[in-house]
Structure 1
């Protein structure tokens, strides 16, 4: 959690910024002003970033882009970094990317989001985007790991399979054991791939529920409390109660609340309000906090 404020930073909360470590990927979401320094405070290197994902082009979600982009080159990041953002904001990204003179060394590959759905895939799984309901074009993100299989030790023992032969069976799908062909399905069980969702500025809409569906980790804005629900709707934001209700309806395992308005002096009220709707694990995000992705089911 590199930053957890909303429109204006406070003494305790920086503008937005979230790094999701996912196997070999490092997805940096919505770097607001000051993100580069927050990365240093958190022990995050520019080399950790493989994808830059912007939900929209309001300043608290993108004004840190110039510093992050320039840091990629300053630190001579050797791998390509993919940049995903709403295609309607190409002109904004161009200005942010080239906000000042610098020697560009790193390879930043722009992949603007033209439409909803699949936007990237790899060994990590699939990255998908859905259009949210905000005052400017905004996308939420959903990361889905492929389903796999979990080896069952008792079944492996039954067939006398151990050591390197386990890996051989996983790679080939079958293994000859004393003249008998053992299939992977005989010694393993299905393992559901993990899911993470990132939802920022939006009113409630179908896309919020589609992104959050079955998420092991849901990072979601909770800008307002329910007492200011009319303001939340006017400015196209969520309340903590709405975020909690989404988590409950969508079967979320861990709910991370963030993007808090500075109007509220007691942040624990966000957790209390969400907990009235959602009985699972709730994390009230704080700057520089590390939040583990839940272990596989």
Structure 2
């Protein structure tokens, strides 16, 4: 599991940063990747990345401002040439379904795959045997959401040495115990799976927030996350401007990370007003509050390691 940053700028694309889009790569876990936001030219960024649209499984849209959705029509059309009939689900706020349907219809774009738009309104929006995705509304000028991607714990390894010490030979019994099933032996003994499995490995948590002022929902979504991705549109010296435009500063992001007890903070959605020196100041301001902070740039990869239980 890792994060691949396709676009890290705010509002307008620049020569150094494209507008917002992040891929959550789940190649080892699912053989796919999920896309969070799809600003203009996202598919062009994908062309210069290791990603392939044929592996795209889900899209999660945080809000309907153009720098987060204007890349959708082109990407959806191009995916049809690469992914065949593989279905695709897009999650996002109310109005997204109208935007997608209208652009596809008016452009007469033919999609050879099934496309669903799932309207979100908070709570659990996706759940299967591997992942749970929860969203909450944040504090922005229009409805904007954050997403918490939570991997389910991985069952512990089978303690084969213990079984061998008890005279139980390798075979189907091992497989049943590993799958979590208790096994009754011919001699009357019952082997409890829990007694022969190592502690489970905790699942990883990634929280990616849409545009927002500091708010309780952001901290709730980020609680204990391995990685928090938070906007840092403005420097601390422009706090009032950030408030007026419904955004956060780098120090706001750092305080959210500290309050939520996350392991790593990644700043993104950086205004084009900042040159390299200004960006260094953004990072320094955040690190003064939360040292484990990284400033994202286009094509940055952030690994999310699986920690032992």
**Is the contact between residue 46 and residue 77 of structure 1 (CA under 8 Å) also seen in structure 2?**
no
- Distance in 2 between the 1:99 and 1:14 partners? 26
- Distance in 1 between the 2:180 and 2:199 partners? 16
Q: Does 1:294 align with 2:302?
A: no
- Distance in 2 between the 1:273 and 1:162 partners? 60
- Distance in 2 between the 1:59 and 1:194 partners? 31
Q: Does 1:270 align with 2:279?
A: no
Q: TM-score, normalised by structure 2?
A: 0.88
Where 2:139 maps in the other structure, the secondary structure is coil
Where 1:236 maps in the other structure, the secondary structure is coil
Equivalent runs, 1:136-147 vs 2, <5 Å: 136-147=142-153
Give the structure 1 partner of residue 207 of structure 2: 197
Equivalent runs, 1:68-217 vs 2, <5 Å: 68-98=75-105, 100-113=107-120, 115-151=121-157, 155-160=159-164, 166-175=174-183, 179=187, 180-187=189-196, 188-217=198-227
- Distance in 2 between the 1:175 and 1:82 partners? 40
Query: Displacement, 1:89?
Result: 4.0
- Distance in 2 between the 1:247 and 1:74 partners? 40
Structure 1, unaligned runs of 5 or more: none
**Is the contact between residue 65 and residue 97 of structure 1 (CA under 8 Å) also seen in structure 2?**
no
Q: Does 1:231 align with 2:237?
A: no
Where 1:70 maps in the other structure, the secondary structure is helix
Equivalent runs, 1:40-59 vs 2, <5 Å: 40-59=47-66
Structure 2, unaligned runs of 5 or more: none
The superposition leaves residues 134-160 of structure 1 with CA deviations (integer Å, 9 ceiling, x where unpaired) of 1011111111122343227xx431222
Could you tell which deviates more after superposition, 21-30 or 136-145? 21-30
Give the structure 2 partner of residue 8 of structure 1: 12
Could you tell which deviates more after superposition, 65-74 or 75-84? 75-84
After superposition, the Cα gap between the structure-2 partners of 1:167 and 1:103, relative to the gap in structure 1 and judged at 3 Å, is: same
**Is the contact between residue 118 and residue 126 of structure 1 (CA under 8 Å) also seen in structure 2?**
yes
After superposition, the Cα gap between the structure-2 partners of 1:63 and 1:175, relative to the gap in structure 1 and judged at 3 Å, is: same
- Distance in 2 between the 1:27 and 1:295 partners? 19
After superposition, the Cα gap between the structure-2 partners of 1:166 and 1:3, relative to the gap in structure 1 and judged at 3 Å, is: farther
After superposition, the Cα gap between the structure-2 partners of 1:51 and 1:230, relative to the gap in structure 1 and judged at 3 Å, is: same
Q: TM-score, normalised by structure 1?
A: 0.91
- Distance in 1 between the 2:193 and 2:117 partners? 40
**Is the contact between residue 174 and residue 182 of structure 1 (CA under 8 Å) also seen in structure 2?**
yes
After superposition, the Cα gap between the structure-2 partners of 1:295 and 1:193, relative to the gap in structure 1 and judged at 3 Å, is: closer
Where 1:276 maps in the other structure, the secondary structure is helix
The size of the alignment, in residue pairs, is 293
- Distance in 2 between the 1:268 and 1:262 partners? 13
After superposition, the Cα gap between the structure-2 partners of 1:166 and 1:198, relative to the gap in structure 1 and judged at 3 Å, is: farther
